[in-house]
A and B are shown apart, each in its own frame.
Chain A
Amino acid sequence: MTGGPPDTVTATGSGTPAFDDELLTAYLDGEASAAERHEVERRVETDPAARSLLAELAEVRNRVRSLPAVEPPASFLAELLDPDLLDRLERSADPDRASGVVAPIETTHPSAPVASLADARARRQAGRPRRRVAAAAAAGTVVVAGTLATLAPPAAAAVPVHDYMVRHEAMVGDAGPTGTPATSADPPPADPMPMPSVAMAEADAMGGLPAMGELGGMARDHVFSAGGTLHVMYTEGDHELSVYRQHGRASWASLPSGGEMVAIGDAPAWRWHDQGATVVVLERGADTYTLVSADGAEPVMAAVVDLPSAGPTMGQRLTDMMTAVGDQFRW
């Protein structure tokens, strides 16, 4: 550019008729009129400065247009799918509607490593320093390996978490198939979703099951199947774990309130933990898995690592998953 500073409209070609440099930009963007295009083309033929400026503006334009998509932190993407997020944001956006004060910082667990979006917003609006979600994610080593944009359009599956939990409780009761003695004086609840048992040979023929034969060091004990849902029970010592598999993506909106969206490895996940019971819902490949244990987080944590996944390499996947899972289960 031969004219003035870049934040002023300049004219190229000292000693030649004035020329508005903005025409070059309009020309590059296809926004110049026919007369303007003709003027630009005539100018650049005779004015080296205008020709040079056109080339430089074109380079800048191309560079901006070539900027890559920005990868959001996986924890942020996971929270976007939190079915409760919108309501929490509404409350934090309008604190007067929410009991007259900015909502206090709330997380499912006080040591949860993933910052809550609504909480961060509430802090921002309260004029306090905002928690750096990215920094928190880095500290918590939530593995960033995927984006929402790369996920296929959802064939969302409602996840009957409550029924899964009750069925698990029924199965591990003294009348359950595992033979594990009940630890409570209360009788086991009725099974809300009876499912016929599947022979192991038949189970092995079903996709996905071989990889689940051994899960987190636990042995496959029983397999049930009905209505497209697979239920596999694993045992190891006194630990019992139920893994439910549904085809399709999870409908996060179907999950009950009280849980928390997190990122585990390369996928969003939902976790819930209360009084020793642990539930994790996560997507793997084209399926949704729900893991239920009444023996704390440990069996679930170990099993999540072994779930089928389409990671880049098995070694990397396991490394990433171990790191991410370890962080997510520091409750």
Chain B
Amino acid sequence: MDLDDPVSVPAGPVTVPTWEDVARTHGRFLYTVAYRLTGNHQEAQDLVQDVLLRVRRGLLTYEPVNLEGWLGRITTNAFLDDVRRQKRRPVVSLPDDAERVLPGAVSAADALDAAGLSDELQDALRSLPEEFRTAVVLCDVVGYGYQEIADHLGVPVGTVRSRIHRGRAQLRTVLS
């Protein structure tokens, strides 16, 4: 996670839920989004930790509008940061962490995670390119509209539509 990357939250009057409130009430949702984005439990847990830190900072200025939408956005930000970091990470310098460096290189443990605790669709979702998977998850798991996704990802609405369409089309092919 880029710790210097500030979390964008609405400004305004503050009614601050505690992390305990967030975890108890929205922990399952948060974990679900993290798992759908990453495709395995270990990375989902790592991601939730990143989110935990961002939420801690963001809660200071959080305006209670749509907490789950806000959490979904933070989760996706953390996920995308992680993806970018992996892309920047030189393979040769981290030989013990190859599974994170090489997209698509699935460890045996992760494969067991997916096989035991998910289904064919989760595997198919995981096989999507990151930008397609992110768009599909934001749309179909988090429940964002195209404009919200576009704002969140910083891309045109047309690009969002294309990514969702191509993501679903790939899912259709994989599942057929």
Contacts and interface: CB of A to CB of B under 8 A. Distances in A.
Interface of A: 1, 6-10, 21-22, 24-26, 29, 31, 56-57, 59-61, 63-65, 67, 69-73, 76-77, 80-81, 85-86, 89-90, 93-94, 117-118, 120-121, 124, 127-130, 132-135, 147-151, 153-154, 156, 251-253
Given A60-B168, A251-B20, 9 more contacts: A57-B165, A60-B172, A65-B140, A67-B121, A86-B52, A130-B46, A149-B27, A149-B28, A151-B25
Contact of B21 (A10, A70, A153): A153
Contact of A120 (B19, B45, B164): B45
Nearest to A252: B20
A10 B168 CA distance: 13
Nearest to A5: B173
Contact of B19 (A8, A77, A86, A135): A86
B67 to A, nearest CB: 12
Interface in B102-130: 109, 113, 117-118, 121-122, 125, 129
B42 A89 contact: no
A64 B121 contact: yes
Interface SS majority for chain A: helix
Contact of B140 (A64, A151, A156): A64
A148 B46 contact: no
Contacts of A71: 28, 117
B141 interface: yes
A134 B96 contact: no
Interface in B137-158: 139-141, 145-146
Contacts of A22: 161-162, 165
B6 to A, nearest CB: 15
Contacts of B41: 72-73, 133-134
6 contacts: A64-B140, A72-B28, A72-B44, A80-B19, A128-B96, A253-B18
Nearest to A129: B96
Interface SS majority for chain B: helix
Among B28, B29, B170, the one with the most A-chain Cβ atoms within 10 Å of its Cβ is B28
A137 B25 CA distance: 23
B3 interface: yes
A235 B20 CA distance: 35
Contacts of A252: 20
Contacts of B170: 6-7
A149 B172 contact: no
Nearest to B173: A6
A24 B21 CA distance: 40
Interface stretch (B8-16, B31-39, B69-77): B31-39
Contact of A135 (B52, B109, B129): B109
A140 B119 CA distance: 25
B169 interface: yes
Contacts of A9: 162, 165-166
B118 to A, nearest CB: 8
B136 A64 contact: yes
Nearest to B129: A7
B97 interface: yes
A133 B1 CA distance: 20
B141 A64 contact: yes
Contact of A61 (B1, B49, B162, B168): B168
Contacts of A118: 49
B24 interface: yes
A86 B36 CA distance: 24
Nearest to A154: B24
A124 B26 CA distance: 26
A154 B168 contact: no
Given A6-B166, A9-B162, A148-B24, A93 B3 contact: yes
B60 interface: no
B172 A156 contact: no
B175 A253 contact: no
Contacts of B165: 9, 21-22, 24-26, 57
A22 B135 CA distance: 14
Nearest to A26: B161
Contact of B20 (A31, A70, A76, A253): A253
A147 B26 CA distance: 10
Contact of A134 (B21, B42, B97, B166): B42
